[in-house]
Amino acid sequence: MDEIKEECGVFGIYHNPEAASLAYFGLHALQHRGQEGAGIATADGKDIYCFKGRGLLASVFEQGGLAGLKGGNSVGHVRYGTEGGNEIENVQPMVARAQIGSIAVVHNGQIANAGELRCELENNGSIFRGTSDSEIILHMIQRRKGPLLRKIQEACKKLDGAFSFLILTEKNLYAIRDKNGLRPLSIARLNEGYCLSSESCAFEAIGAKFLRDVRPGEVIKLSEKGMESSFYTEETQHRICAMEYIYFSRPDSNVEGLNVHTVRKKCGKIMAMKDRDGLAADIVVGVPDSSLSAAMGYSEASGLPCEMGLIKNRYVGRTFIKPTQRLRDMGVKMKLSVNVSVVAGKRVVLIDDSLVRGTTSRYIVQLLKEASAKEVHLRIASPAIIYPCFYGVDTSTQQELISYRLSSAALREYVGADSLRFLSLEDLQRACGGNCCFACFNGEYVTPLYCHGEKSK
Amino acid sequence: MDEIKEECGVFGIYHNPEAASLAYFGLHALQHRGQEGAGIATADGKDIYCFKGRGLLASVFEQGGLAGLKGGNSVGHVRYGTEGGNEIENVQPMVARAQIGSIAVVHNGQIANAGELRCELENNGSIFRGTSDSEIILHMIQRRKGPLLRKIQEACKKLDGAFSFLILTEKNLYAIRDKNGLRPLSIARLNEGYCLSSESCAFEAIGAKFLRDVRPGEVIKLSEKGMESSFYTEETQHRICAMEYIYFSRPDSNVEGLNVHTVRKKCGKIMAMKDRDGLAADIVVGVPDSSLSAAMGYSEASGLPCEMGLIKNRYVGRTFIKPTQRLRDMGVKMKLSVNVSVVAGKRVVLIDDSLVRGTTSRYIVQLLKEASAKEVHLRIASPAIIYPCFYGVDTSTQQELISYRLSSAALREYVGADSLRFLSLEDLQRACGGNCCFACFNGEYVTPLYCHGEKSK
Amino acid sequence: MDEIKEECGVFGIYHNPEAASLAYFGLHALQHRGQEGAGIATADGKDIYCFKGRGLLASVFEQGGLAGLKGGNSVGHVRYGTEGGNEIENVQPMVARAQIGSIAVVHNGQIANAGELRCELENNGSIFRGTSDSEIILHMIQRRKGPLLRKIQEACKKLDGAFSFLILTEKNLYAIRDKNGLRPLSIARLNEGYCLSSESCAFEAIGAKFLRDVRPGEVIKLSEKGMESSFYTEETQHRICAMEYIYFSRPDSNVEGLNVHTVRKKCGKIMAMKDRDGLAADIVVGVPDSSLSAAMGYSEASGLPCEMGLIKNRYVGRTFIKPTQRLRDMGVKMKLSVNVSVVAGKRVVLIDDSLVRGTTSRYIVQLLKEASAKEVHLRIASPAIIYPCFYGVDTSTQQELISYRLSSAALREYVGADSLRFLSLEDLQRACGGNCCFACFNGEYVTPLYCHGEKSK
Amino acid sequence: MDEIKEECGVFGIYHNPEAASLAYFGLHALQHRGQEGAGIATADGKDIYCFKGRGLLASVFEQGGLAGLKGGNSVGHVRYGTEGGNEIENVQPMVARAQIGSIAVVHNGQIANAGELRCELENNGSIFRGTSDSEIILHMIQRRKGPLLRKIQEACKKLDGAFSFLILTEKNLYAIRDKNGLRPLSIARLNEGYCLSSESCAFEAIGAKFLRDVRPGEVIKLSEKGMESSFYTEETQHRICAMEYIYFSRPDSNVEGLNVHTVRKKCGKIMAMKDRDGLAADIVVGVPDSSLSAAMGYSEASGLPCEMGLIKNRYVGRTFIKPTQRLRDMGVKMKLSVNVSVVAGKRVVLIDDSLVRGTTSRYIVQLLKEASAKEVHLRIASPAIIYPCFYGVDTSTQQELISYRLSSAALREYVGADSLRFLSLEDLQRACGGNCCFACFNGEYVTPLYCHGEKSK
């Protein structure tokens, strides 16, 4: 399937007797951000304990891994892993055991100058065990001198790109966000302590009270002295990744103050208003789950009824059969099926959140046509993606981006829709505000770019 | 949680080289009807092969159980098990190995006179290995004389209650539905063969073409001669369980010719029309997933915006922690969370599909209030349940039915809503037609009732 | 491999608050008697609870199955299953749920007239769910009239063949042994209660005090009144299966008063004495584990040193690889390897406990020759098997018995040994006493034989 | 239990199309050297692939981990892990991913100056992810300059202690053994390629032909040029750990040219000769499995019969029950039971291979006494351990060594034996040759010792 993949979620607890259990619950609420690996590290003032593994959170911990995670502070991680990079070495938290004290790091994002930094570190004798950027962060920090806070700040100055990470020491907890604020990170109060999360929905899950987003360039230190804030640079700006609104975050999360469901619904409404005069249709159908909010918005603004024309199977479907092509097709149908009675003979406005390689949209349009939909008008609730992302969104190379390769007409033909329209960038900005990174739509990258090991710009 | 439990799903394939694999895919589409057990039996003309186990379909078969299931015909089952009755003896298919030939049965429903029949059978020397009604069916059939078709017909005459079952022999496949048609069962064509399923959504999943519903009282025999139909009685009527529309079936299934999503949406619309003059509210929120269709309908008819105010976590959440009360509360929150930004300060019309014991509704209303909803108006998209069901719906004793125990006002107070209204029975009939069993709403049972081993009426 | 398969083990506890746990420990000590399935049923005076599954005991219960097994009485079973018969329906305990009270049965043995009884039962309307003899026992008992003790006694009169079984009711526990005492069964005291086991080694494991063997034809009833003994027939004799000494039982078990290790060692000694003048050899090597006792005995009587020339790998070896022939050979080597340094250049007396199809012996002789053993003299610590067994030993058809097919010289050549000798039947009788069933050696069956559904003799 | 723990096993394949499968089979034969973790890395000329996990080899790979291990060269590891150090970070192979090329290391042994090296490395900016010595080796090598062979040689010069390790690069394979040869490592031919193993028994398992032991101080490089040998130092000596003979290695392995079973048997014989005049006894019983060879030897030399008085259960016993003390005792009995009939009334010579903390011996003597053994004469087939080991044997602190704490008489009383005798060091030397490290017996360490981060001697 042609899904954009989420790029991990981080979660942390400072000062709570149930730090490991709370991290488990918090990560469960972030599970949509990564299903290939999960782990939790805790600290009890004397040592750091860590348990992690490949797969879903619940299966990683089903054999009792929580039992050994002692202490009142914790950090946790759910991981999305690219193919080939899903070795156990890349699963987080990453722990460095040093005689001056151990630290554990969990990280969400992508370091744009990872290749350069890695080269430099290796030349100075560092060893890398996996391919994860988190390992670079560990090295960058440990190589600096002075107290840990200063080491973190010095390290961050060298990091270009998107990063929100947590550092757990034997006694304290640090939260850091890159100077453009590309990846989300928020802080909440939980009784006498604190809680950190990639998304605010995890605060709700454990009853923590949202305090504020961590600020671009900010380094928060949680210690016996409470919460102390500092900045590793003064050159900051708010450039949260627009994809957090469009696809990644859960509808009940607030990202930089805006509710995700509400932003998506607004996108749907705006699209409907643009279609107002031209589009004669019978029903609106959203691709579950991430496009349902936009479909509701489109329905509301257009007056067309919103229908459940596509159904997502809630159960994990595994194919144990060495499949013929026929059985392989069924494997795909295990995930998504069309509600034939609802769409047959209808002119359908099909709402999808985004379009990357085009294969999923093409497949869904075909499903609807086979189910006798009279017309299928595809509306993408975000602009065409024509630039690659270097900040953690797995949209691969520019050549794979179908909006880059094909003209609008050719694209419509490829997906098989009767009409196709994207949300314009301006309209997206109306919905989610201008303070986002829109680089995948307009090529305006917020950091220098690197290419073959050299800064290209 | 206060959920009505689904009462199993059955699936069958006649004449297809991939009978076992197709049964696996078909059952996956019926997984919502039962998660406590699953199994498949196949036949290759010479013998019957069976593999089954406790738990979800995918986990039952993950160790390779499909491999030994040879042959071109199959029957399968997903099981919902009441507590205590979830022993392996009750997991289906149930196979009887006899020297005159083996048979396998899968069954959906509940035999109202099970106690009487069991007594009689035991007095005649029969042995029961579990507590499942399917075992009674096996015995009832095997005790008759003559060819199998006649044995089945004779046995069915003795069975009161709800049943849709499939019988697999070494060569043939039989499909039977009770004379009131209480439980659903449909037949489809699949290439040169046939396919049977509790719900039509499973036909879509494997590319079979819907033919028709099996008729009340009908016995279909699939053999080398093709499909032959007969009836075990002439006293038949259409009384499909209304709960199939309200709660059990998947939105993309058609039950007795009506699409489930469409019926639910219609219920929502009717409720909105009844509320038209009196209800001042801001938004409509459905309880995911089964109430979303009704919420869409309510929104459409009332003009109030439909919002995603409650979010269901798509991932299975297990609690490995010996929980304090506090952690136990979180365990519940792992499943359902409220979208605070959407509901805060709003007057919410909360749509739920049904109300049995009232505990879930009460919990959700409380969640919304804690999230600062200004008002919560609970609308139940079905009538008040005041009679117990003897046909397979697990609504327990009459005393547990909160609508039986409490007056309308007391019930509103109990759940904590600002107003509470049920769909009237007449309105439900408008939505799903009059040919349903509404016994749980009006006490008009379609079979004799039995009590302490005696027929009570 | 050419192993004789064990035919199940049974275990029971009467009157102990830890009845389920003790059954678990007891069955663990009997695990060598069957690895394909395991289960435990308990009773608490009101109901019977049962948990069972395919595979090793520890893996069946690793998900917590012991938790629900309430009550002070229990029966348990470890199962050896023939191919094709390993369906869950055949796993024991088998429970019959009847309104007059439930019973659970665990059984070790083989009913010689199973086919006849089954036919008769089916003709009278009984249904069989699997292919196990235990199910026949259940039916035979339930079909009788009167109090349970009488029903058991009447049923046993109809059963020809080998059986030791336990019956658990909601309140009591029964232990039954066939009139020839073919399969072992013993009783022990455990505090205020009792304990029953196929082998005495399981008593040691839980600290129970051996009382005596259950007698041929005896029915023991354990109830509030204590232990009551009766006999279902007066025509009894002691004919324990000789294979219990030769192969099945654990060396630390006593069977009918004789220690198994000691009997085996004696067999080895006798063989050595027979060889005394003729055999010039350097070392004695036993095939681990079951032939080590005999090897010790041979060494002691011959004066030849006993050496560890063959090593059995203690860890379960699974082959996950789709194997080439080469890798398949290694799969066999995962289980047994030769100690090259010990056997190279030596004249080896190789002791094996028995020889059925000859394939294992042939393989081991070949291993030793490849390891440069100068000569290999194979000594089988039991007589040649030339008759099939109808009492539970899986030696298959007479045609498969290599000693039936081949002359002594041809057999020696087939296995590749420099000489081959069996223990004579007289010598075996000297070691284990004359009160055994030796039918597989001499064809003197202790019950009528049945063939194609008719008694043949 | 009071067992000495094995310290890991390593295995490698150079140039074979089935490198991963062969490593799996080879490691299975080494499973006795470590059960807490296992892993395999392979190389195909372009990249390194690795799969590993906690637990037994078969369970680590049961989900299909072998499938992705491409290439013709491999290294593998089975791990024994001390408590607390069993995090996934310590499981081997350890892979370093560097832009100049990746390497994987598997290691058996213990670096005596690990603390010093670690400090030094950390001061220079290295990060450690776990507590394993293998990680130090990785860093030591990567920090050197020049071609890999030189880097390895330079690194080894800095390492004090016991180490046998393999280095896999994308193209080549290196095998290294410390200059004292403390840990075993051998090389064999396998068709056109090579095979490396901690023990020779693994060569047998895959049909490889033993070539020779890797020499103390030797670095073997396997590449397209074949096998090239060099030495990292000229100051070498043969000081294989005596415990390899006494306890660690499999009886069918040859260590430095001597067969392990044969050495153990010789120890038993010598002990018997020392006892000749003084000891009146009836039978000899060895503690299974590692003391059976010595028991055979004692029996042979003394003329006393060797009996199977103790039985080790071959099946893994897990306790799922929250145990009372009574049930906990049974948990221990699940592993080892006494053959009462054999020992009752007898004067038993009990042979155990070694005695560390004394708890196991005490427990076994007690078991025998409870089983009515008249006398128990404990003979330890190795000298008293009075010095701690710094080379990989987990004998803990000197205070825990019971032979250090107690006088001979007090020790006999503590274990409850009627007499107690150890093998003398001289006699051990007679059995296994003088070229061993006997430091745990005589304190003559072969490397400098380190204490609190400083070289102490």
3-state per-residue secondary structure call for chain D? CCCCCCCCEEEEEECCCCHHHHHHHHHHHCHHHCCCEEEEEEECCCCEEEEEEECCHHHHCCCCHHHHCCCCEEEEEEECCCCCCCCHHHCCCEEECCCCCCEEEEEEEEECCHHHHHHHHHHCCCCCCCCCHHHHHHHHHHHCCCCHHHHHHHHHHHCCEEEEEEEEECCCEEEEECCCCCCCCEEEEECCEEEEECCCHHHHHHCCEEEEECCCCEEEEEECCEEEEEECCCCCCCCEECHHHHHHCCCCCEECCEEHHHHHHHHHHHHHHHHCCCCCCCEEEECCCCCHHHHHHHHHHHCCCEECCEEECCCCCCCCCCCCHHHHHHHHHCCEEECHHHHCCCEEEEEECCCCCCHHHHHHHHHHHHCCCCEEEEEECCCCCCCCCCCCCCCCCHHHCHHHHCCHHHHHHHHCCCEEEECCHHHHHHHHCCCEECHHHHCCCCCCCEECCEECC
pLDDT for the residue numbered D84: 52
Q: Residues of B with CB below 8 A from C95's CB?
A: 89, 129-130
The residue-averaged pLDDT of C127-135 equals 88
Tokens of B139: 């015995």
Asked if C118 lies within 8 A of B99 by C-beta distance, the reply is yes
Best CATH choice for the domain B263-434 from the list 3.90.170.10, 3.40.50.300, 3.40.50.2020, 3.30.70.580: 3.40.50.2020
CA angle C381, C387, C393 (to 5 degrees): 70
The residue-averaged pLDDT of B194-198 equals 98
Percentage of the residues of chain B whose pLDDT score is greater than 70? 92
Residues facing residue A378 across a β-bridge: A350, A420
Residue C21 has pLDDT above 60, yes or no: yes
β-pairing verdict for A436-437 and A240-241: parallel
Average pLDDT, chain C: 91
pLDDT tens digit string along D107-156? 999 999 998 999 999 988 899 988 888 999 999 998 898 999 999 999 99
Nearest to B53 by CA among C359, A429, C51, C295: C51
Nearest CB to D251 within list C22, C265, C339: C339
Nearest to A446 by CA among A164, A114, A216, A245: A216
Mean pLDDT is lowest, of A46-50, B345-349, C403-407, D452-456, for D452-456
Residue B325 has pLDDT above 90, yes or no: no
**DSSP helix/strand/coil, C424:** coil
pLDDT tens digit string along D149-185? 999 999 999 999 999 999 999 999 999 999 999 999 9
Tokens of D424: 């003398």
Buried b (16+ CB within 10 A) or exposed e, C427-437: bbbebbbeebb
C253 is in an annotated binding site: no
**DSSP helix/strand/coil, B196:** strand
Residue D324 has pLDDT above 80, yes or no: no
DSSP state of B410: H
Asked if D139 lies within 8 A of A127 by C-beta distance, the reply is yes
pLDDT for the residue numbered D145: 87
Nearest to D252 by CA among D261, D242, D244: D261
Nearest CB to D293 within list C299, C308, C341: C308
Q: Residues of A with CB below 8 A from D138's CB?
A: 127
CA distance B439 to B318: 36
Chain C CB within 8 Å of residue D88 CB = no
Residue C127 has pLDDT above 80, yes or no: yes
Tokens of A363: 């497949």
Which chain D residue shows the shortest CA-CA distance from A50?
D87
CA angle A131, A136, A140 (to 5 degrees): 165
Residue A4 has pLDDT above 70, yes or no: no
Half-sphere exposure in the Cβ direction for C112 (13 Å, CA): 23
Nearest to A333 by CA among A313, A350, A360: A313
pLDDT for the residue numbered C451: 63
pLDDT for the residue numbered A453: 41
Q: Is the dihedral of CA A392, A398, A402, A404 positive or negative?
A: positive
pLDDT for the residue numbered D125: 87
pLDDT tens digit string along A44-76? 999 999 999 988 999 899 878 898 999 999 999
The residue-averaged pLDDT of D15-32 equals 95
Tokens of D150: 């030189």
Nearest to C132 by CA among C27, C66, C240, C37: C37
Chain D CB within 8 Å of residue C332 CB = no
ipTM above 0.90, yes or no: yes
pLDDT for the residue numbered D5: 59
Residue A321 has pLDDT above 60, yes or no: no
Residue C86 has pLDDT above 80, yes or no: no
Residue A145 has pLDDT above 80, yes or no: yes
D440 is in an annotated binding site: yes
CA distance C258 to C254: 5
pLDDT for the residue numbered D334: 81
Which uninterrupted H or E stretch holds A196?
A: strand A193-197
Chain C CB within 8 Å of residue B87 CB = yes
pLDDT for the residue numbered C107: 95
Residue C134 has pLDDT above 60, yes or no: yes
pLDDT for the residue numbered B87: 81
CA distance A276 to B194: 46
- How big is chain A, counted in residues? 457
CATH class as words, domain C9-238: alpha beta
B241 is in an annotated binding site: yes
Tokens of A198: 């990639």
Chain A CB within 8 Å of residue B57 CB = yes
The residue-averaged pLDDT of B310-329 equals 72
Phi, psi angle pair for B255, to nearest 5°: -110, 120
Buried b (16+ CB within 10 A) or exposed e, B301-328: bbebbbbbbbbebebbbebebeeeeebe
pLDDT for the residue numbered C456: 40
**DSSP helix/strand/coil, A294:** helix
Residue A325 has pLDDT above 80, yes or no: no
pLDDT for the residue numbered C8: 92
Chain B CB within 8 Å of residue C129 CB = yes
C-alpha distances (whole Å) from D279 to each of D275, D283, D415 are 6, 11, 19
- Give me the DSSP letters along C143-168: HS-SSHHHHHHHHHHH--EEEEEEEE
pLDDT for the residue numbered C169: 97
CA distance D307 to D213: 36
Residue B452 has pLDDT above 50, yes or no: no
CA distance B401 to B135: 29
Chain D CB within 8 Å of residue A50 CB = yes
pLDDT band at D457 (very low <50, low <70, confident <90, very high): very low
pLDDT for the residue numbered A455: 44
> Which single residue is written with the structure tokens 């039952």?
B60
The residue-averaged pLDDT of C203-221 equals 96
Are D258 and D245 in contact by the 8 Å Cβ rule? The answer is: yes
Are A122 and D138 in contact by the 8 Å Cβ rule? The answer is: no
pLDDT for the residue numbered B319: 60
pLDDT for the residue numbered D323: 57
pLDDT for the residue numbered D316: 72
Buried b (16+ CB within 10 A) or exposed e, B248-274: bbbbbbbbbebbbbbbbbbbbbbbbeb
Chain D contacts in chain A segment 376-435 (CB below 8 A): none
Number of C-beta neighbours around residue A327 at 10 A:
17
pLDDT for the residue numbered C357: 85
Phi, psi angle pair for D425, to nearest 5°: -60, -40
Number of C-beta neighbours around residue D359 at 10 A:
15
* Residues of B annotated catalytic, as ranges: 8
In CATH, the architecture of A263-442 is 3-Layer(aba) Sandwich (3.40)
Residue D67 has pLDDT above 80, yes or no: yes
- Give me the DSSP letters along C42-79: EE-SS-EEEEEEES-HHHHSTTSGGGG--SSEEEEEEE
Q: How far is D181 from chain C (nearest CA, A)?
A: 22
CA distance B12 to B77: 9
Percentage of the residues of chain C whose pLDDT score is greater than 70? 92
> Which single residue is written with the structure tokens 């699949």?
B190
Phi, psi angle pair for D140, to nearest 5°: -60, -40
Return left, alpha or beta for D45; rule: phi > 0 is left, psi -120 to 50 is alpha, else beta.
Answer: left
pLDDT band at A434 (very low <50, low <70, confident <90, very high): confident
pLDDT for the residue numbered B396: 63
What ranges do the domains of chain B cover? 9-238, 263-434
pLDDT for the residue numbered C106: 97
Are B237 and B215 in contact by the 8 Å Cβ rule? The answer is: no
**DSSP helix/strand/coil, C313:** coil
The residue-averaged pLDDT of D270-275 equals 94
CA distance C8 to C2: 18
Residue C454 has pLDDT above 50, yes or no: no
B partners (3+ CB pairs within 8 A) are A, C
DSSP state of A119: H
Q: Domain D265-435: give its CATH code.
A: 3.40.50.2020
Catalytic status, residue C436: no
A99 vs A210 pLDDT, higher one: A210
pTM: 0.90
pLDDT band at B226 (very low <50, low <70, confident <90, very high): very high
pLDDT for the residue numbered A452: 45
